[in-house]
A and B are shown apart, each in its own frame.
Chain A
Amino acid sequence: MSKVIEPGTNEITTTGQVGRSVPRLESKAKVTGRAEYIHNLELPGMLHAKVVRSTVAHARIRRIDVSAAKEMPGVYDVITAEDVLKLIPDPYYGPAFHDQPILAIGKVRHVGEPVAVVLASDVHTADRATDLVEVEYEDMEPVFHEVESAGTETAIVHDVIRPAGTFADLKTLKPRTKTNIAMEYHLRSGDVNAAFANADHVFEHTFRSQQVNHLPLEPIVTVAEVTDRGNLLIHTASQSPSFVRIEVARLLGWPENRVRVRTAYLGGGFGAKLYIKLEALVSVLALLTGRPVKLSLTMEEQFYTITRHAATVHIKTGVTKDGRILGRHVTTWWNGGAYADIGPRVTQKSGFTAAGPYDIDAVSLDSYAVYTNLPPAGALRGFGIPQLVWAYESQTDIIARELGLDPLDFRRKNLLTNGRPHATGTVLVDAGTTEVLTELERLMDWHGPFEHGTGPIRRGRGIAIGIKAAVSPTTSVAFVNIYSDGSCGLYCGTVDMGQGSDTAMAQIAADVLGLAAEDVRVIHADTDVTPYDMATLGSRSTFHMGNAVRLAAEDAKTKAVEMCAKQTGLATASLRVENGQVVTPDGQAFTYGAILSKQYGMQAGNIMGVGSFVPDYEKPSSENGKSENITPFWMVGGTGVEVEVDIETGKIAITRLVTVGDAGKALNPGIVKRQLSGASIMQMGFTLFEEMAFDEGQVVNASLADYKIPGFWDVPEQNDVQIVEVPHKNGPFGAKGIGETGSLALSPAVANALQDAIGVRIYETPLTPERVLRALRAEQGNEWEED
């Protein structure tokens, strides 16, 4: 059923469009520097906005004095919450909770929180004037660590926690007070205490992941203008234009049709440009001034806008002496920062996979979304899963070693396979757990000899495997429009931020219609033009939008055939579509253009196909957190690494990286491989060196000078990527999402390789030289003192 794709293989479908490594449709635009990004947008009469940000982590605002800034020559205006409140009486926004004020009202909850905005025609003038805005704060007790914050009774970040009721699965949440726990999720399946009692060994560990940043190279940017009818037009580098429209319309009390949101190519997203970021603020600025307004963040500001959750994961596992996992209890605390963003969904959607891709009778999971006084955390390539895999796959190796079992065999013995129920009660279907592990074993030559070295450079290898459930329930709608000459436009709200969705969606439409993918024009997300799509996130687009596009193309094809049947007097069932033509039993062929010309008596008209897709879903029971249908598909990713560890400096070098991902069906094998590799290397940065460092809530390394991301020298010499295909019965052509699959398992694979190399275990990322050396010294009974 599964198979492994070799590089350059052209998989043939009926028309050969799906499975072909079509070069990205926008290739020439990108290499010539002509591709459109909102970063480049300038409008006549446009004002530039610069944000005055909080310098403290938790405080009441006593006074804001904007007079000096307003008097600076060139400054158009300075805006505070007072102005916002005149326009919007309840200016709190957010996807899961309405907790984030457009500008701080009465108090600030993290360093970098927007307090005021300076507007000027010249961006440098606006920037200089922000220094003249005086804000007086009255400090409050801050709280930074997620576990501490979950227990505090004094440092409360939000007086009242207000769920938004947006998502079907979070609708039942009630407001809370006097706690920093925004939301919690619990799963109970089987008797965990009995399992621990019956186990030969019980292992208990705590793992931590640090706070990191997406850092798309196109910084987050929004431009808003008021149209001649007094409506809003928002140009924004957003992964979720439909959501932005709904949320801005809600804030203003307007119907959706008064807000238009459009995007272009995104210069990277990774989750940073999701839901709503600058859009509410910039819309307000445009409405208050009547002028187009642009806000383009600096790299530094990105660190204060959205981040990835730091997380503490406590994991307790009971096993038999021959290596059968009987029970597992996992408690996870997610550091959501000052505003919930999508943290509550991470808490639940990722929370329920915390026991890993293993077949365990008794599982109990507790997952807490916790507010702190740090910059907000949201979704970053994996939606919390990499933090969980870090814990359970590190522990998997620890257990295997303790029991004297081969780590790969131990995994195989406990692996959750198709047909078996996951801890949630959802039966695993069409998921490549076995296939990914087997492929990892082969590529790593796992049972072959491996030289560990004896000198200052020691070698080791490790593997890990992770599973992710696609977020559900979500909806995608697509239109296929065949124009009067027979050429085709595809209207879909999936945002191409580098993942190659334009190309993949064009391939799907082309395959159905018998056209070449290169000839399908993909119209970018514009809520006045393209239909609803929940968002480009969580590796959902290939599956959800892919299905919508396929259905839209099928609909257009059916309409063309019906039109042709009427024109020729033949039965629709006797007609077939080949190479973009409707063909009659006697061999006559009509192009879509010819059919339209005949229909309208001249080159005119359209054939419109509509497709929409929303998978079945059953929300987790409030009693035990279980659901028989919790996800439309599972993603499975495995990573193998070979490392060299310098025992004198503590530096880990990954010499070989093997990334294996189950694509279901690789619609475009070239792009799928690039996605797997890119995700893997990004995760390598989060594993080895990326870390937001804080001092009283201030990010002390908020620049690319101090916060290093992977560069040319960090990429392993051997960077092997392997696609596994276990087709999904509901995926378009069997395809599943792949954008995060490479991120899932890398961190523990490296820690496992580290232990293989030098015998020490590290429980916290990043695996910096200092941490490695400290662990090594501790192992040798020669511990370093903390500074």
Chain B
Amino acid sequence: MTEKQVIRFRLNGRPVEIAVESHESLVDVLRRGFQMYSVRESCGQGLCGCCTVYVNGTAVSGCLYLAVLVDDCDVMTVEGQGSFDALSIVQQAFIEREAFQCGFCTPGMVMMATQLLQEHPLPTDEEIRHYMSGNLCRCAAYTEIIAAVHRASELMKEHGLTLPASTGSAV
């Protein structure tokens, strides 16, 4: 066993601290320490996107990201994006376009789609496929996810709705 190290970071806008071992991944720590169960380890190799979280506003694979590295960082999970009573635009669009089946990959998809729309508010199909290609869905709801990203883009443009800040606000 290695020595534990205390790290402090902001999780969905709130300051937190936890003692972690050097080998622990961000997925392990978010689940073990903070019950952030939207962050899921599936392939364990950074290939499926089920563990997508933002670190300092950038999407990373939580299963490959060592937890010690988020010391003093902003970490955001889908729990920080929206809630039952206040869904984010992307979450709303996913429901409207039925862009999920089992839902296991959905938080990662929502995170990635949100970052895509921050960078490309009016993405083409090609841009969506390219940007989202690191996220897998075994139920294969891809056609619907592409439609959902377009729908979210439309909601932003036509209704002036905005995306949640990628560093998270206190929830």
A-side residues, CB < 8 A to B, are 23-24, 26-35, 37, 39-40, 73-74, 124-125, 214-219, 265-270, 298-299, 497-500, 670-671, 674-675, 677-678, 680-682, 703-705, 709-713, 715, 717, 719
Contact = CB atoms under 8 A, between A and B. Distances in A.
A671 B45 CA distance: 31
B95 A28 contact: yes
Which of A39, A711, A712, A713 has the most CB atoms of chain B within a 10 A radius of its CB? A712
Given A23-B95, A31-B95, A711-B133, A498 B42 contact: no
B136 A711 contact: yes
A33 B138 contact: no
6 contacts: A33-B38, A39-B40, A217-B105, A678-B140, A682-B140, A715-B143
B45 A704 contact: yes
Contacts of B55: none
Interface residues of B, number: 54
Given A32-B79, A703-B45, 11 more contacts: A30-B100, A33-B38, A35-B103, A218-B40, A218-B104, A270-B138, A299-B45, A498-B102, A674-B101, A675-B101, A709-B136
Interface string B29-49: 001000011111011110110
Interface in B124-169: 125, 128-130, 132-133, 135-146
Given A73-B1, A498-B102, A677-B140, A32 B87 contact: yes
B101 A704 contact: no
A682 B42 contact: no
B100 A677 contact: no
Nearest to A300: B44
Nearest to A670: B98
A715 B141 CA distance: 10
Contacts of A704: 43, 45, 47-48, 136
Contacts of B83: 32
B79 A217 contact: no
B37 A40 contact: yes
Contact of A268 (B23, B44, B129, B138): B138
Contact of A713 (B94, B105, B133, B140): B133
Contacts of A217: 40, 42-43, 48, 50, 102, 104-105, 136-138
B17 to A, nearest CB: 20
A28 B44 contact: no
Interface of B: 1, 23, 31, 36-40, 42-45, 47-48, 50, 77-79, 81-84, 87, 91, 94-95, 98, 100-107, 110, 125, 128-130, 132-133, 135-146
Given A32-B38, A299-B42, A26 B140 contact: no
A31 B95 CA distance: 8
Nearest to A681: B140
Contacts of A674: 98, 101, 139, 141, 144
Given A30-B106, A704-B43, A268 B87 contact: no
B100 A31 contact: yes
Contacts of A35: 103
A217 B132 CA distance: 17
Nearest to B137: A217
A34 B101 contact: no
A500 to B, nearest CB: 7
A47 to B, nearest CB: 15
B141 A267 contact: no
A713 B132 CA distance: 9
A715 B128 CA distance: 12
A380 to B, nearest CB: 12
Contacts of A39: 40, 104
